[in-house]
Amino acid sequence: MELLQGRIRDYAWGSRTAIAELQGRPAPSDGPEAELWLGAHPGAPATVDRDGRPVSLTDLLVAEPEHWLGERLVGRFGIRLPFLLKVLAADAPLSLQAHPDAEQARTGHAADAGQVNYVDPYHKPELLVALSEFDALCGFRDPADSAEAIAAFGVPALEPVVAALRAGPAGLREAVRALLSWPAAERAGLVAAVLAGAVAGPASPDAALVRTLAAGYPADPGVVVALLLHRVRLSPGEGIWMPAGNLHAYLRGTGVEIMAASDNVLRGGLTPKRVDVDELLRVLRFEVLADPVVRPEPVAPGVLAWPVPVEDFALHHVTVSAAATGTRLTLPGPRVVLCRAGRLTVADGVGEVTLDAGQSAVGTAAGAALTLTGDGEAFVATCGLR
């Protein structure tokens, strides 16, 4: 194991306190800090020290693929780390978005040469585990509930959308297309009418959501599309599993996120960025998501996991006490370890490193089982191959 230096992304919706406080730096920070990337994604690869200078983890994988990744991972995923671990800290809503499945990503990337919708040929399922209370919109809820929620605002222009939703799941596509294709000249009026209904009507979670979103996006029909989704509030330790094709938006909070290493995002609103309605509709799954919340399962003393049905990644949380002898984890390499709290020493038979809160480490496929000692908590990211 050796120290890994992550990269901070300064997206406008980011927190000025959460990541700084995790890393023990002065807060608030000078600007928004939205995500801490701990991986080898070419958009912001983490680095390790080589003779006093930072070297990209991506470059190390290319130079020594079998040492870092192992023959099995190279054969399955190519010369790339198949997962990306992040700390995500949102002080404002992210865009409504969905991600393609593996086949859609391959064909889409080949068709547009990575210039428009598909910047790489990979899928992007993702799991987020809350570190604080975390608010999110995740997957379509029962269309009958969405129909009643929208009807309650009393906006005549939305009656066709309400009618489509009352037809059940079969009407979801029609409702989403109608909202995202709303004439540009009429969008501000639509949101204003819905907001007026939210202000005048009885207090409800849906009305509160409209007020929050309309404040930032007063001419975006995504404010109404948001009413079609589950509103979820996670407690620390609970997770959200977002497979391909599920529309979602994170609203506020801090979490650890692990995903397949891709940057393919199809947006549906709540953003100044490009929205491709036709392509989004092509990849969306117009089905009700029964329960997007994933709860941790104990897999060993002091070790929790959030099982997900992909080979690209797996995530474990480890709690270590100074009174105990430590925790041993037999997990496939390479591995990325993020110290969440306290101080931990992580060893893999090749090297060991001591981490304080907010620090991270990486080990190659050549390492043996992980041993964690000290007093603290850590997240361990690996591939999901077994």
Q: What is the pLDDT of residue 332?
A: 87
Q: What is the pLDDT of residue 114?
A: 55
Q: Report, as an integer, the average pLDDT of 10-16.
A: 97
pLDDT cut 70: percent of the chain above it: 99
Sign, CA dihedral 147-278-218-235, equals positive
Burial of 2 (0-12, 13-18, 19+ CB in 10 A): middle
Q: What is the pLDDT of residue 115?
A: 65
Residue ranges of the alpha helices (H) in the chain? 18-22, 57-63, 65-77, 102-112, 143-151, 159-166, 172-180, 187-200, 205-216, 222-225, 277-283
| Predicted confidence (pLDDT) per residue in 217-270, tens digit | 999 999 999 999 999 999 999 999 999 999 999 999 999 999 999 999 999 999
Count other C-beta atoms under 10 Å from residue 203's C-beta.
Answer: 8
Q: What CA–CA distance (Å, rounded) separates 116 from 264?
A: 10
Strand-pair partners of 85: 38, 258
Q: What CA–CA distance (Å, rounded) separates 159 from 170?
A: 17
Of residues 185 and 273, more confidently modeled: 185
Count other C-beta atoms under 10 Å from residue 70's C-beta.
Answer: 19
Count other C-beta atoms under 10 Å from residue 295's C-beta.
Answer: 12
| Predicted confidence (pLDDT) per residue in 107-165, tens digit | 999 987 656 789 999 999 999 999 999 999 999 999 999 999 999 999 999 999 999 99
pTM of the model: 0.95
Report whether pLDDT(64) > 60. Answer: yes
Question: What is the DSSP code (8-state) at residue 244?
Answer: T
Count other C-beta atoms under 10 Å from residue 274's C-beta.
Answer: 9
| Predicted confidence (pLDDT) per residue in 353-385, tens digit | 999 999 999 999 999 999 999 999 999 999 998
Q: Is 282 left (phi over 0), alpha (psi -120 to 50) or beta?
A: alpha
| Predicted confidence (pLDDT) per residue in 316-352, tens digit | 999 999 888 889 999 988 999 999 999 999 999 999 9
Cα–Cα nearest to 86, from 52, 50, 49, 40: 40
Please list, residue by residue across 41-54, b when 16 or more beta carbons sit within 10 angstroms of its beta carbon and e when fewer do: beebbbbbeeeeee
Q: Which residues are known to be catalytic? A: 267
Q: What is the pLDDT of residue 113?
A: 65
Count other C-beta atoms under 10 Å from residue 169's C-beta.
Answer: 14
Q: What is the pLDDT of residue 334?
A: 96
Average pLDDT for the chain: 95
Sign, CA dihedral 45-46-49-52, equals positive
Q: Amino acid identity of 100?
A: P
Q: What CA–CA distance (Å, rounded) separates 121 from 110?
A: 8
On the question of a cis peptide bond just before residue 28, with omega within 30 degrees of 0, the verdict is yes
Residue identified by tokens 């992909």 is 310
Q: What is the pLDDT of residue 322?
A: 87
Q: Amino acid identity of 368?
A: A
